[in-house]
Structure 1
Amino acid sequence: MTRITLFIVLGFLFFACNSQTKNKEDFSSSSDLYKQLKAVNSNGVLFGHQDDLAYGVNWAYEAGRSDTKETAGDYPALFGWELGGIELGNQVNLDSVPFDKMREYVIKGYEMGAVITFSWHPFSALDSTRSSWDTDQSVVKHIVPGGSHHDIFKQHLDKVAAFFHSLKTKDGNPVPFIFRPWHEMDGDWFWWGNSHCTSDEFKTLFRFTIEYLKDEKGVDFLTAYSPDNRFSTEEEYLTWYPGDDIVEIIGVDNYGDFRVGSENIKAAQKKLEIVVKYARKTDKVAAFTETGLNRMTDDRWFTQKLGKSFLDGDFASEIAYVMLWRNDDTTHFFSSYPGHSSAPDFKEFTGHRRIWLLNDWNRFKEQNNMTK
């Protein structure tokens, strides 16, 4: 073999190996997840549920169980998980879910074909005994760059990054996911809320969090921005927005417009329209990132309230997913479960042709050549 021929062969092998490596990395990259969510568009809406595989009403950590599946006949298309407590090195999160179990459920959910999303309610870097809901102390200005506790906050982020890096399939592929930190900042119930820091301080916190995790720690994910429902214009919605360059998911959390006795479904729909229109304008993914009705005190809530907030709207229907909060016990649950009086309505809602559970989502990906 001549030297020239050898160089050609080696060059070809190098290119082929690099191509295979690149394909493996792209196989489960956040960019693939972004393309999948963008493809949903107005075809359907993924149904999601917080902690769905870990526990439900009257059960916990039983393999294969899911309140959604046992009520609607299939698993959610999106699973939500909570990281609060990991920044302190705790073994369980603030809802007592062991992080080792969570890792298993995240990987299982992804391998089933579901979308994965994380929220984070961290303890204060100023005082580790203070939760996200302890608001009698200024925190944000002390943990952003230049703040007195910035280095401690970075140590918290290091623990978040380590957990994210541990989310790999048996083949060694990283699990793509959505990260939704610092949500509901327009309310005042968290220490990063609007009564406890300025909008500029919040934007600095948000940007630093994302840039540190991605640029310094090498974590790959999609970022979600999700104020509460305290806005009525695009300008108000963007008050806390950290920038198009670091956000991919344009979301909103909304419980207030759905509470029995104070429902305002038209207002909820209008807010979703603001979200969708901004996502359209900036080529982002729109989402209803968190909602639910505690104790499900309205047996027709799913079809007559939640569904009407987006399925009946010209723009609101373009959200990619809607996620309900967790089912803990009979005093604290935000979706339905087997035997509850809302179960028939929930089954009707999830049976709507445009509400997608896991099999619907997997079928869509397969039909559009977007499967693994």
Structure 2
Amino acid sequence: MIKKSGLIMAILLIVLVIFTVIVRANHGVAKGNMEKENNTILDDKPEGFVEITEKVRDDKDNADISDMEKEVYLADNDASGEVLSLYSYMKAISNSGKVIFGQQNGNDEHVSKRDNVTSDVKDITGSFPAIVGIDTLAIAGDSKINRGSNTKETLEYAVERGKEAIADGAIITLSMHAPNMGAESIEKDADGKYNFWKCSFADSQNTGGDCAAKCLPGGEYNDRYNAYLDIAADYIEGLGDVPVLFRPLHESSGNWFWWGSGNTDKETYKALFRYTKDYMSEVRNLHNLIYVFSPGGTSDEDEYLQTYPGDEYVDILGFDSYDSADIPYNNSFLDQNLREYCKTVASLAKKKDKIAAISETGCLLKTKDCAIKNQDWYRKVFSIAKETGMAYGLLWSNYDESNFYVPFKYDDTKGHEVINDFIKLYNEEYTVFARDLGFYDGVQKYNVKNTNKGEESGYFTDLRTKSAIINARKINSICHNVDQVNLVLKNLEDNKNVTIDMEKSGNMYEAEVTDAVLGDLGKTSRGTAELVADGKILQTIKGLSFNKEVERLPKNTLEDFELYIDDEELKNVYSHNGSGGYSELSLCEKFKNNGSYSGAFTYSLSGESSYTGRFKSLENAEFDSDVNALAFWMKPDGHGEEGAKVILQIGTSLGGAEVNLVKFAAQTEGKYIVIPLEVFSKSIATDDISTLAFYRNNPEQNAPDIVDSTIYFDDIEFIKTDINKLELNEDGYAILDEPLDICK
């Protein structure tokens, strides 16, 4: 009995030891969210890990500051001395041929489960990233950086971690995935304050409700938006007087966030960005911010500037663009796209005497056989940044082993399969990490003057493109550093103009549009409003209707190209999205189905997997619920290469519902197309439609370079028809010579 008991105890002891080892392997000291942990790859016999053969340099020189300018222009004319010094310092680093390395959450989120690791970058190199990013959603939302029980606790934790990164030499950048201010997840506490604790990333992608316009003063959501800005301001205040790169309302050229140009008009976006800057500097009295503007990447300067808030509101010209994680890997992002995007912002920054940067980039990694294995991707990206004059590049976050952008260590001798490539990047003389930065070693006291002595600036707060002024009303604006402010209303159709003095109340200016003014203007749908201060036009709103309702598309019509005054107005309505290509829409009288115009979709593509497209919001369109097909006229261009795509896409809450028309695109004769809704890639409900888009994609292999080819579209509408009476091709849609009675 004693021997058996001893044997049983020994077995139990062995089981306990094994269980302890397993538990320790699966539940290390990571401080990320519990729900983010997925440790299937971090077992005792890891696959996909490699020997760490590169040694980390410890002899890198600090960044050269001998070229620091003594005068710079910052959007905040009351910017602190430390902010002015940092701005001059970053310009000097860029001019010296160096690039600052940054990573989102690079001081807290990490994949490694090694003890005492708070940063994969620091675990690998011994240094934090020189720029460490955080988002408001990580403080008040479901992307929480620790397991705090409320915003206050998480805010305190975030400030503590931010100060730790600053003490290590890093600069903080704050982005803002703000929820749609109409989201049900926003609650109001007993003290009357708004609570964003339950908000999610999905709430920032809730594009309904005209949120951007309602966030401006006088709007339904202005108090909520202010409360959200207060969270950002509280975090910034908590860090102390150190400079912070503030990057609100990013990726404005896209349609995936409620503030994007696919979901609000561009002038409203500009006003909201301007208001955000004003709130932080004037209401919260924060003068330690450098303001970053970051739409999507583009090779066209005019396209980049479509949502640009103005030199008086922006300090850094950035862009966001990601490489594809598809396998086999395609080099088009590195070979062409990234370099062209960098050259675009570098050119504009030089003209405006501002800083250029890659504000967000990356390639999503896999734990084994990832797309950039053996590609030396990191050095190629930052080499392009160096050659084109980018001040910094920021990679996205390491959340967990299914969502990360920087390699990590498994133990002291092994790491992720691209870890040696990353160490090579760190070892380059031109890359600057936190311990190489040296800004806080006295540089922040460098005497730099701000040449901004208070520029005239301003914006409308309650007037937007494609709106109507039918009855007497007030129009409001916010202006700075001005004496006389006027509202100038113009009827372009009849060449009638009315100028109204705007009355001042603080920084708010108000104009009264009376019945007499409307009588003088007459009836038109070609009206504009100019905000003029001391003879300078601060903002122009186009597409206004005076004394009549705004002309709308007929019910069930997505586009007929008949409501645009000219190509400029059409371009302002549609936004670009693409990689390795460019496109634009213009009005065409020669090739059309009905009416005066069709839409000429002209595109250029270069490189494999490149694509380009144009999209617009369908916010005010009306559709019946019982339609069952989409019908339109299309004249293709003869480019039907195998593997290419010609996409007509309808945006829904489920994503883009699309159909590929490339086989028809091989023809050149205009035809009438009828597509049953069930053929689209995602389900379409007419009460859940947000955007219309046209795309042209090159094949993944053997892609031709196509320059200035044009496809024509017209009369795009939902219909109800007897699908059984249509002769559908193998792709599920009908190609007709003309509209049939059953299709009307």
- Please give the alpha-carbon distance, in whole angstroms, between the structure 2 residues aligned to 1:349 and 1:314: 12
Equivalences for residues 251-290 of structure 1 within 5 A: 251-256=318-323, 261-262=329-330, 263-265=332-334, 266-290=336-360
1:56 maps to which of 110, 113, 116: 110
**Cα pair 1:222 1:248 within 8 Å, conserved:** yes
From 337, 342, 354, the counterpart of 2:408: 337
Give the 3 Å change call, closer, same or farther, for CA 268–301 of structure 1 in structure 2.
farther
Pick from 203, 208, 212 the counterpart of residue 140 of structure 1: 212
CA 1:277–1:114: 2 relative to 1, 3 Å: same
Residue 171 (structure 2) aligns with = 115
C-alpha change, 1:312 and 1:117, in structure 2 (3 Å) is closer
Distance in structure 1 (CA, Å) of the matches to 2:374 and 2:177:
28
Q: Which residue in the other structure is 1:102 paired with?
A: 158
Q: Which has the higher strand share?
A: 2
In the alignment, what sits opposite 1:198? Answer: 265
Number of the residue aligned with 2:95:
42
How far the C-alpha of 1:59 sits from its partner, in A, is 3.9
CA distance in structure 2 between the aligned counterparts of 1:287 and 1:346, rounded to whole angstroms: 20
Deviation at 1:73, TM superposition (A): 3.7
Q: Deviation per CA, 1:185-224: give whole Å up to 9, x if none.
A: 1111111112110110110110000111111210120000
How far 1:150 moved relative to its partner? 1.7
In the alignment, which of 207, 211, 214 is matched to residue 274 of structure 2?
Answer: 207
Q: What are the equivalent positions in structure 2 for 1:128-207 lying under 5 Å apart?
A: 128-129=184-185, 131-168=203-240, 174-207=241-274
Point out the more displaced range, 262-271 or 235-244: 262-271
In the other structure, the counterpart of 1:127 is 183
User: Could you report, residue by residue, the CA deviation over 1:50-106 in whole angstroms, capped at 9, with x for unpaired residues?
Assistant: 11221300449x7563201222343211111111265xxx4x662444322210111
Report the more deviating stretch, 45-54 or 97-106.
97-106
Secondary structure of 2:271's partner?
helix
Which residue matches 2:380? 308
The answer on whether the counterparts of 1:291 and 1:324 sit within 8 Å (CA) in structure 2 is yes
Whether 1:250 aligns to 2:321 is no
Structure 2 distance, partners of 1:53, 1:313, is 23
Question: Is the CA contact 2:108–2:145 (under 8 Å) kept in the aligned structure 1?
Answer: no
Q: CA deviation at 1:237?
A: 0.6
Question: Residue type matched to 2:408 in 1?
Answer: Y
Distance 1:340 1:282 in 2: 41
- Which residue in 2 is equivalent to 1:355? 431
In the alignment, residue 296 of structure 2 is paired with which amino acid? D
Deviates more, 1:144-153 or 1:285-294: 144-153
TM-score (norm 2): 0.42
Paired letter, 2:233:
A
1:13 paired residue number: none
Given that 2:323 and 2:362 are in contact with CA atoms closer than 8 Å, whether structure 1 keeps it comes out as no
Supply the AA of the counterpart residue of 2:87.
Answer: Y
What is the CA–CA distance in structure 2 between the aligned matches of 1:326 and 1:267, rounded to whole Å? 22
Task: Quote how far apart the aligned CAs of 1:160 are.
Answer: 2.5
Report the CA distance shift for 1:167/1:73 in structure 2 as closer, same or farther (over 3 A).
closer
Alignment correspondent of 2:84: 31
Query: What amino acid does structure 2 have at the position aligned with 1:264?
Result: F
* 1:351 CA drift (Å): 1.3
Cα distance between partner residues in 1 of 2:360 and 2:403: 15
Q: What is the one-letter code of the residue matched to 1:139? A: C
C-alpha spacing 1:302/1:351, structure 2 compared with 1 (3 Å): farther
Percent identity between matched residues is 29
Q: Shift of the alpha carbon at 1:127?
A: 2.1
The partner residue of 2:304 within 225, 228, 237 is: 237
Q: 1:189 to 1:302 in 2, by over 3 A?
A: farther
The answer to whether the 8 Å contact 2:108/2:161 transfers is yes
Separation in structure 1 between the aligned mates of residue 272 and residue 374 of structure 2, nearest angstrom: 36
2:318·2:357 contact (CA, 8 Å) conserved in 1? yes
**Cα shift at 1:164:** 1.9
Contact 1:46 1:321 in 2 (8 A): yes
Choose between structure 1 and 2: higher helix proportion.
Answer: 1
Q: Is the 8 A contact 1:295 1:332 kept in 2?
A: yes
* Distance in 1 separating the partners of 2:120 and 2:246: 24
| Deviations, residues 210-264 of structure 1 (Å, cap 9, x unaligned) | 11111121012000000112x2211101111000111111101110467654533
> In structure 1, the residue corresponding to 2:292 is in which secondary structure?
strand
Q: 2:302, 2:156 → 1: CA distance?
A: 41
SS in 1 for 2:124: helix
Give the match's secondary structure for 2:204. Answer: coil
1:83 aligns with 2:154: no
Shift in Å, 1:360: 2.0
**Between Structure 1 and Structure 2, whose CA radius of gyration is higher?**
2
Give 1:324's aligned residue: 395
Contact kept? 1:53, 1:64, Cα under 8 Å: no
Q: Deviations over 1:264-312 (max 9, x none)?
A: 3212101101111111111111111111111252344773x44334524
Q: 1:247 to 1:301 in 2, by over 3 A?
A: farther
1:298 aligned to which of 346, 367, 371: 371
* SS in structure 2 at match of 1:84: helix
Where do 5+ consecutive residues of structure 2 fail to align? 1-78, 147-153, 186-201, 410-414, 446-744
Pick from 278, 296, 299: which aligns with 1:228? 296
Q: Is the alpha carbon distance of 1:131 and 1:73 closer, same or farther for their aligned partners in structure 2, counting shifts above 3 Å?
A: same
Q: Any idea what SS the aligned residue of 1:47 has? A: strand
SS in 2 for 1:247: coil
Does the 8 Å contact 2:211/2:258 carry over to 1?
A: yes
Q: Is the 8 A contact 1:82 1:93 kept in 2?
A: no
Farther off after superposition, 47-56 or 256-265: 256-265
CA shift in 2, pair 1:313/1:335, >3 Å: closer
Whole-angstrom CA distance in 2 between matches of 1:326 and 1:140: 27
User: What is the letter of the counterpart of residue 292 of structure 1?
Assistant: G
SS at match of 1:119: strand
Match of 1:67 in 2: 120
Q: Map of 1:5-24 to 2, 5 A cutoff?
A: none
CA 1:344–1:204: 2 relative to 1, 3 Å? same
CA RMSD of aligned residues (A): 2.5
1:56 aligns to what SS in structure 2? Answer: coil
Q: Deviations over 1:128-166 (max 9, x none)?
A: 526102224431121123322222222222333233222
| Structure 1: runs of 5+ lacking an equivalent | 1-24, 169-173
CA–CA distance in 2 between the matches of 1:328 and 1:342? 17
Q: Deviations over 1:321-356 (max 9, x none)?
A: 111111011100011111100101111122111111
Q: 2:251, 2:296 within 8 Å by CA — same for their partners in 1?
A: yes
Cα distance between partner residues in 2 of 1:301 and 1:183:
32
